[in-house]
Amino acid sequence: MKNIPVILLASARKDSDTKKFIEKVFSNTEYKVIDLLDFTVLPYDYSHQYSEKDEFFKIIEELMQHETIVFATPVYWYSMSGLMKTFFDRLTDLVTIKKEYGRQLKDKSTFLIVVGTDKGLPVGFDKPFELSSRYLKMSYQGSIYYSTKHTEPEQSIGDLINLFIQKVVSDE
């Protein structure tokens, strides 16, 4: 298993504020990014008939190689991005047709990075990440939120980043 955190980035823009915040948070820490814009993840299909273009399981195979998974998404309409939601919907495949993949996620630590424009993280925003992690027997360890409009003094942001990265690194 790789001891470096893997970050699943789900922004609609390549050079997004979420990506920039990831770079700031992990500026002194080794990490790997999986940008969902670089992959084709088809919507969940009850019949499990996915075309050869679908790369969901390729992403899961990479996630299985890391002990720490960080989900990173902007806030879109008070929820995770559409890319992240499609990915989360596909987790259903890990408890139906690819149970062996789902089992390999057990005991991994998960975190959440969120970027938005509101002063704080919308109430309940992190619940899907927490509950999905619990369902797959992973350990959700918390989140960090950055507002692009209501920025705190640089020292406050730095303190939050330090606390967050210490938790991420301690789980490696």
- Please name each of the domains of the chain with its CATH number: 6-170 (3.40.50.360)
pLDDT of residue 37: 98
Kindly state the DSSP code that residue 65 receives in the 8-state scheme.
T
Structure tokens at 172: 């490696």
Whole-Å CA distances, 1 to 21, 32, 104, 112: 26, 13, 11, 21
pLDDT of residue 154: 64
pLDDT tens, residue order, the chain (172 aa):
568 999 999 999 999 999 999 999 999 999 999 999 999 999 999 999 999 999 999 999 999 999 999 999 999 999 999 999 999 999 999 999 999 999 999 999 999 999 999 999 999 999 999 999 999 999 999 999 999 987 666 667 888 999 999 999 985 5
Strand arrangement, sheet containing 68-74:
32-35, 6-9, 68-74, 109-116, 139-147
pLDDT of residue 149: 87
144 three-state secondary structure:
strand
pLDDT of residue 153: 60
pLDDT of residue 157: 83
